[in-house]
Amino acid sequence: MKTKISSIALSIIFLGLADCKSSDKDDGYRLWLRYDQIENESVLNDYKQIIQNIIVTGESPTIFAAREEILYGLSALFGAEVPVNKEVKEGCLLIGTPESSSVINGYFKGDTISAIGNEGYSIFSTQSEGYKITVITGNTDVGILYGVFHFLKLLQTRQSIAELNIASKPGIQNRLLNHWDNLDRKVERGYAGFSLWKWNTLPDYIDPRYKDYARANASVGINGTVLTNVNANAQVLTPEYLEKVAALADVFRPYGIRVYLTARFSAPIEIGGLRTADPLQKNVIEWWNNKAKEIYSYIPDFGGFLVKANSEGQPGPQNYGRSHAEGANLLARAVKPYNGIVMWRAFVYSNEEPEDRAKQAYNEFKPLDGKFEDNVLIQVKNGPIDFQPREPFHPLFGAMEQTPVMMEFQVTQEYLGQDIHLTYLAPLYEECLHSDTYAKGTGSEVFKVINGSLFNYNETGIAGVSNIGDDRNWCGHPIAQANWYALGQLAWDPEAASQEIAEEWIRMTYSNNQEVIDTMLKIMMISREAGVNYRTPLGLHHQMAWHHHYGPGPWIKDKPRADWTSAYYNKADETGIGFDRTKTGSNAVSQYFSPLTELFGNIETCPEELLLWFHHVPWNYKMKSGNTLWEELCMKYYQGTDQVREMQTKWNSLEGKIDDERFKHVQSLLKIQVRDAIEWRNACLLYYQTFSKMPIPEKYEQPDQTLEYYMKVDRKYLPGS
């Protein structure tokens, strides 16, 4: 067993993440895995007293990754190598499973073993032969790896490690990133450069970033990655590309990450030479069975397929008069012998324009409950339209008792400023996860649906549409890294609090200085609400510009589909504004359980943050504040711009307290965000004013441009369009 790695070897192994250690220069590449030396001598001495040497037992590639990480992390944090031993001594950090260590086997058994499951870990302080030691253990090697990352996080965030008694396991089985990456390396809804996957040099050249990507995901417990766009290209299922996918899988495997691919439903025609993709045809069934066998010959632990079908022009089973269940089951049966799963997306709307797009997924999937194979999960966006700044939770959460429903969040900020605006998304995730569906009465929150506890699902899952590209700092905006981190944390523990996640991330990524923490927390925790206020307050939605979705476009209409336009959703006219989804309108409220149907359906009880989502409201309607709807709308838009200015002021106060490179980067982006927030505010209010016929109150700064000016703004060549 290799028990010691030299400092020279470590510097080579971790060149990518260790090449910018200076406290005054940091380009963000290291993400939250910044193992900068601890400067507080008292804290450092306490840690060194407790951890004086290391033993890592086991021989697998995953154990090697854990050993590599702990050696590098401790040596960097302590400023000196920590000795590696073979025998337990005072201050030993003992790492391994009960099977690999007889010492651990003596402590770790019974209830603890069953409590942490296959991926969980236990970290505890104890004594062995009179020596004080610290143990990191788990039932599996990947549990050990997760435990190592957690232990290093304790040091990074300056927590006490004197008397540890930690046991943790993931609350959800399948925790994935969905990359909307195309084979030409462009990324749909990607704002941080091109795709990480360099298909033209794979499998022969393995970019070091692949390993750093795997480390970052493992550090937050993400255990799966879908490499390709949901608007799928069948070529990725050919041997030429499977060889490349296998090379990535080899890099990710030691870090507990399985690879998945998007399956284009028409692949049997496009790459298989068949004349049909009808899921009930024998030759189609045989083709997919053979294709699955071929994929698993390249990638034995292949996770399975993610499928977008019969949505936005993508082919699917409905092309042949078949149901989503019949289409999903075709693929599910093909991967089932290999323990694969199929994640079938519920983001569907037909070529025939529906009465209300918000209703269609429920209408199509609810009747199919119980008709899917047991290795199918229905992947549902958090809201019923499309990753809007604020939506009610999707009514399919709680509606599918016999079919596992998994969550799809967006990490990339398609409608929330992309890689330019500072928007911390965890409050949005938390808002959705803690919404009560009332599927089984009070206490039937969304997180209990997706963690399987409400309906005893056999499979559970959560996915985030990735915000990662080949920009040096991974996510474009330095703070956008927090959304990737938060997705992982909430996938591990769907009940985690967004503010606690933010503080943890700040400590690991920026500073343990309390002033920095407090200031950044205030900025991050108001950022999402600010984004709602200056874009789509009071339940407005889908008011963005055509194509790029970055700027405002409430006037967009007369396009190929009405439900791709803003006017379809705002319904602004001289009588009022908002989409009537009550019994007098589309009756989308009926898709929710009581008492939500009645709560949302009554204009007097509907939460005001969702008022215009469910109601067409008169301009002079009296709000709870005493304002008319028009006055409240104006107030919210101006509040949003004021909040961004507050964020800007607070960020500027951090000059000299964090590294200069990232400070200036965020400072510059906040200048743009203030400008954009004003544009959103002015453009929307001037447009809605053409219907309300009411003035913007004099107490507010008045728009300095006309509506015609804003309507002519035409941004070209924006990333991710």
3-state secondary structure 299-314: CCCCCEEEECCCCCCC
Strands (DSSP E) found in 371-526: 376-381, 405-410, 461-465
Beta carbons of 233 and 270 less than 8 angstroms apart: no
Check residue 721 and give its pLDDT. 75
**SS3 state of residue 595:** coil
pLDDT surpassing 60 at residue 4: no
Per-residue pLDDT band for 462 (boundaries 50, 70, 90) equals very high
Per-residue pLDDT band for 110 (boundaries 50, 70, 90) equals low
CA-to-CA distance for 505 and 157, rounded, in angstroms? 9
Percent with pLDDT over 70 in the chain: 96
Percent with pLDDT over 90 in the chain: 93
Kindly report the number of other CB atoms within 10 A of residue 655's CB atom.
11
Residue 693 structure tokens? 């016929």
Q: Dump pLDDT digits (tens) for 531-590.
A: 999 999 999 999 999 989 999 999 999 998 899 999 999 999 999 999 999 999 999 999
pLDDT surpassing 70 at residue 420: yes
For the four alpha carbons of 153, 411, 517 and 20, in that order, the dihedral sign comes to positive
Per-residue pLDDT band for 1 (boundaries 50, 70, 90) equals very low
Lowest mean pLDDT among 18-22, 214-218, 594-598: 18-22
Per-residue pLDDT band for 112 (boundaries 50, 70, 90) equals confident
pLDDT surpassing 90 at residue 2: no
Phi, psi of 257 (to 5 degrees): -110, 125
| Whole-prediction pTM | 0.96
Cα angle value 539/543/548 (rounded, 5°): 140
324 CB burial (10 A radius; 0-12, 13-18, 19+):
buried
Taking the C-alpha atoms of 526, 528, 531 and 536 in order, what is their torsion angle to the nearest 10 degrees? Answer: -120
Nearest CA-CA partner of 392 in 419, 362, 413 = 362
pLDDT surpassing 60 at residue 34: yes
Instruction: Give the pLDDT mean for 89-104.
Output: 95
Per-residue pLDDT band for 351 (boundaries 50, 70, 90) equals low
pLDDT surpassing 90 at residue 12: no
CA-to-CA distance for 416 and 423, rounded, in angstroms? 7
pLDDT surpassing 80 at residue 244: yes
Q: Looking at the chain, which residues constitute the CATH 3.30.379.10 domain(s)?
A: 7-168
Which contiguous run of DSSP H or E holds residue 178? strand 174-178
CA-to-CA distance for 98 and 102, rounded, in angstroms? 6
Phi, psi of 408 (to 5 degrees): -120, 110
Q: In what order do the strands lie in the sheet with 165-168?
A: 53-56, 92-95, 131-137, 121-128, 165-168
CA-to-CA distance for 631 and 280, rounded, in angstroms? 57
Per-residue pLDDT band for 350 (boundaries 50, 70, 90) equals confident
Superfamily of domain 174-509: Glycosidases (3.20.20.80)
Q: 379 pairs with which residues across the strands?
A: 345, 406
Check residue 389 and give its pLDDT. 98
Give the CATH number of domain 7-168: 3.30.379.10
C-alpha R_g of the chain: 26
First to last CA, the chain: 51
Q: Given 386, 401, 436, 609, which residue is catalytic?
A: 386
pLDDT surpassing 70 at residue 362: yes
Strands (DSSP E) found in 227-346: 258-262, 304-307, 341-345
Q: Can you list the alpha helix ranges (DSSP code H) found in 477-628? A: 481-492, 498-509, 514-535, 567-570, 596-601, 611-614
Identify the DSSP state of 338.
G
Q: Given 26, 69, 408, 414, which residue is catalytic?
A: 414
Q: Given 24, 184, 286, 312, which residue is catalytic?
A: 312
Q: Dump pLDDT digits (tens) for 490-539.
A: 999 999 999 999 999 999 999 999 999 999 999 999 999 999 999 999 99
* 712-to-334, 359, 553, 663 alpha-carbon distances in Å: 51, 33, 10, 34
**SS3 state of residue 498:** helix
Q: What is the mean pLDDT of the chain?
A: 95
pLDDT surpassing 80 at residue 470: yes
Q: Looking at the chain, which residues constitute the CATH 3.20.20.80 domain(s)?
A: 174-509
Is 414 tagged catalytic? Answer: yes
* 131-to-50, 90, 347, 648 alpha-carbon distances in Å: 11, 5, 57, 52
Q: Dump pLDDT digits (tens) for 255-311.
A: 999 999 999 999 999 999 999 999 999 999 999 999 999 999 999 999 999 999 999
Is 574 tagged catalytic? Answer: no
Lowest mean pLDDT among 250-254, 556-560, 667-671: 556-560
Give the CATH number of domain 533-579+616-712: 3.90.1330.10
Which contiguous run of DSSP H or E holds residue 126? strand 121-128
Check residue 9 and give its pLDDT. 36
Check residue 11 and give its pLDDT. 36
Cβ-Cβ contacts under 8 Å for 671 (sequence gap 6 or more): 648
Q: Looking at the chain, which residues constitute the CATH 3.90.1330.10 domain(s)?
A: 533-579+616-712
Residue 398 structure tokens? 């709680």
Kindly report the number of other CB atoms within 10 A of residue 558's CB atom.
7
Nearest CA-CA partner of 134 in 71, 92, 194 = 92
Residue 386 structure tokens? 């499309």
pLDDT surpassing 60 at residue 14: no
Check residue 25 and give its pLDDT. 79
Which of the two residues, 20 and 433, has the higher pLDDT score? 433
Instruction: Give the pLDDT mean for 343-352.
Output: 88
Cβ-Cβ contacts under 8 Å for 527 (sequence gap 6 or more): 422, 423, 424, 647
Check residue 16 and give its pLDDT. 41
Check residue 7 and give its pLDDT. 35
Q: 224 pairs with which residues across the strands?
A: 176, 258
* Residue position matching structure tokens 């080579």: 12
Is 386 tagged catalytic? Answer: yes
Nearest CA-CA partner of 396 in 459, 348, 355 = 348
Which contiguous run of DSSP H or E holds residue 289? helix 282-298
Nearest CA-CA partner of 699 in 642, 618, 621 = 642
Instruction: Give the pLDDT mean for 139-159.
Output: 98
Instruction: Give the pLDDT mean for 374-381.
Output: 98
Q: Dump pLDDT digits (tens) for 302-342.
A: 999 999 999 999 999 999 999 999 999 999 999 999 999 99
CA-to-CA distance for 432 and 384, rounded, in angstroms? 12
Residue 35 structure tokens? 């193992």
Per-residue pLDDT band for 24 (boundaries 50, 70, 90) equals low
Identify the DSSP state of 95.
E
Instruction: Give the pLDDT mean for 694-721.
Output: 95
Check residue 353 and give its pLDDT. 66
Residue 333 structure tokens? 């049966």
CA-to-CA distance for 76 and 78, rounded, in angstroms? 6
Residue 336 structure tokens? 């089932």
Q: Describe the crossing of helices 498-509 and 514-535 by its angle, rounded to 10 degrees.
A: 130
Cβ-Cβ contacts under 8 Å for 446 (sequence gap 6 or more): 393, 397, 398, 407, 432, 433, 434, 435, 437
